[in-house]
Structures are given as structure tokens and as C-alpha cells.
Amino acid sequence: MSVSTAAVATAICAPLPVLGRDVTVPLVTGGEVTYAALDYAASAPALQRVWDDVAAYAPYYGSVHRGAGYLSQLSTDLFENARKTVAEFLDCRTDDQLIFTRSTTDSLNLLAQALPADCQVFVFETEHHASLLPWKDARVTYLNAPRTPAQAVETLEKALADRDPYGPALVCVTGASNVTGELWPVRELAAAAHAHGARIVLDAAQLAPHHPVSVQDLDVDWVAFSGHKLYAPFGSGVLAGRADWLQAADPYLAGGGASRKVTRREDGGVDVEWHESAARHEAGSPNVIGAYSIASACKALTEAGFDTLVAREQHLIDTVRAGLAEVPEVRVLSLFGDDAPRVGVISFVVEGWNSSHFAAALSAEYGIGVRDGLFCAHPLVRTLLGSDPQTQGECGAPEAAPGEKSLNAIRVSFGAGTPDEHVERFVNAVKELVRSGAKWQYRTEDGRCVPAV
């Protein structure tokens, strides 16, 4: 992005208002500072719009689907309209089902439970654990980390060409890495999957908050994401896509709401007729506030305009990457290289520092919240850090098995609610810590690096 474009993007799009933007935190060196929340990839703050919408509805909360009272009827309409709003946000097909879940992890475990018998699953080792681990009951092929988008497509095509062509197959892929922020070639991977008779599910947890996600344009069969990464941290997620596998599977949870009819048998047992709609996998009392908050966030992002949001975020990405590039001791982690398009998620290591120690100093001395560790993507981070020497026993160093190196990294992440000042403060803090070291002493407590008292 050119300087002029960045200036325009910043001028026409201020950060979207989020909760916590004025919170101050104490510094171990004395005084207080406005907190810089730069851990959006884990959980983004709630949009003020989302909070206001939820607060306005809360007095009218009632049971969903089974209540005759006014508040129950109102809540049911709200819940089902939220389903329509999110489906529109995702550009779902007319016959797709959209199921409200608890999170991306919950969504992908639901889909894993709904796989047809003898289904083969293909997943890259680069996935977040939410999309790497749920497939334990299927025949899973784990694909090595690609080093270019083209190599990702080639790797998948080869694996699919070598599979048993007569059984069902599913490909699971991320839209944007939760470690590197890099965008994956979803449309090309979907085309490869369909050419070989497989289906594909998109983990959009890191993509949906930053870029528009169109089920039809990307031609994916399912998409999953979490509300808490989409500025709606009220305990809901989404699985949306083709209905047939979901309708054929036993309910994810057995209970009220999923059942259409339950009758006693003469032998003392019960017969159950399950719903074929999304309710089949939404047993129990729905989280109507969680669903409504996701719909509110979808409306807010759509109204703000993704073109503008993406342009402004690119300005923030450029600021962080340019600042880190000025520090020779910093190495930014990447699969696809410096020129790869990405969202506002950047991981790095600092020569001479354990990452937990560095992150603790950013928090305690500068009021900056980042992430450190392996980011629930252990195989990917180990691949990216495998050749890096690490000093074991340093403050906050993760435990390692005998003979293993202690590996961890630092992740900074941001989005639509991030002020320029936060990323500028982060860049300056990195430079100062590398140049002058920490001002405070730190110790390990319960596996975490914390300021020594």
C-alpha cells in the first residue's frame, strides 16, 4: 500500500468502537497506561454496537422455540432472524443449513461426528488444533506444511489422486493462519477437492473478522467460525453449509429441541424422531444472546464496508512489519514469504529472548497485551521454529521433553477496533526492549513469566 493510500484508508475509517478501548492498566515500573489489546487472534473485544444491541435486548430475553409468551415469541424471532442474517453475511446457498454452536472447535467437532462411514479426511499439519484434531474417528491423512500457495494445491491434488476414489472424502483447510496471518488459496483448494470427488470445510475463524467470506464464491461445502473472534464474545459459533451429511447423522447432542417426537415402546424403551432442520444439532436451550451478538457483528462489519476495513488493516500490518524489519534481532514467521497477503496476525521470535519473557515485559512495562507460546498450532510452530536455538530454563520457557528444544513465539494481532497508537506503541516497545533490555526482573510462576515482586 502506498503512503497516500494508507493515509486515505486511515482518514475515512477510524477504528470501530470496541469495549475496553479506554481501560487503563498499571505498569510494574509505576503509573498507568491505556491498555493496548493486541491479541485479537485469540479473542477480539466486543464491538460497542454488539454490546449495545445485546443490552437493549436483554430485558426481553425469553425461552426460544417452545414458549407461548410474548418474550418467548420475540426471542424466537430474534434467534431465527439472526440465523438469516449470518447466512446472508456468509453468502450461503439457499438450501444450506446454518447451525449455531459454541465455537469453531465445536462446529468442526459437530461436522466430524456427522461424517459418513469410512470417510477420508485430508488436513494440513499447519491447521489450528480446532481443525487438526476432531477427525479421530475418520481415516485421516495429514499433509506436510506447504511453502507456497501453489504447493498447497499441488500437495492436496496429489493426495486426493492417490486416495480410494469410491468413498466419501473431506478436506479441511484454514482461510487465514492463526500463526502467520497468511491467506490460504481456498478457492483453488476447493476446486481441487471437488475435481477429485471430495468436499471441503473452511475454518474461517481468522478470516471472517478481517475479510468477506462467501460460501458461493469460494465454493466451499461448509464454513465454521467463532463469535468471540468476530467481536461477539458471547459463547456462540457457526457451522454453515450443505445439509445432507448433517441431516443423515445422529444429533450432535441428544435432548430437547433436537427431537421432533418421542414415544414409549411396549418393551419399555423409547423411539425418537429427530428434526431434519438445524434444530437437529441444536439440542438444549439455544444461546439466543450469543446468536444475536454474532448477527449484530455481521451487520456492523457489513455496514462499515470490508473494502475500507481491509485497507485500514493493511495500513496497520504495514506499520508493524516495517517496524519489526528495522530490528535485526527479530525474525517474523512465515510459510509463504514476505509478499504473501495476510490478515492482522503476525508471529515472531527475538534473538536472545525467550518469547514468554518478551511478552511479559511488553505487558508489565508497556501495557501491551500479546500472545506467546505455540498458539494451539503446535506442529506448524514447531516446523517454523525447528531450527532455532532456544535456551531452556529461561523465565517462562515452556516445558520440553528430554532432548527437545523449548519452543515458543510471540504473536501480535489486531483488527477493526485497533487504534494506530496501539501498533505504534508496540513497535516502539519492541525496539526499546531489544536495545535496552527489560527494566524489571522476572520469574516463572505456574509456567508463566511474571514480574518478580
Count of alpha carbons within 13 angstroms of residue 283, beta-carbon side: 13
Burial of 65 (C-beta count, 10 Å sphere; 0-12/13-18/19+): middle
- Residue 356's nearest CA partner among 403, 318, 400 is 400
Q: What are phi and psi of 271, to 5 degrees?
A: -110, 140
Catalytic hit among 172, 298, 376, 395: 376
Active site annotation includes 298: no
Note the helical H segments in 215-257: 215-218, 244-248
> CA–CA separation, 223 vs 200, rounded Å?
9
> Shortest CA distance to 331 belongs to which of 430, 183, 438, 194?
430
Taking the CA atoms of the chain, what radius of gyration do you get in angstroms?
Answer: 23
CA distances (Å), 15 to each of 159, 235, 345, 419, in order? Answer: 43, 24, 17, 6
Identify the three-state secondary structure at position 114. coil
CA distance 105 to 178: 14
Copy the grid coordinates of residue 292. Answer: 444475536
Instruction: Provide the annotated active-site residues.
Output: 376
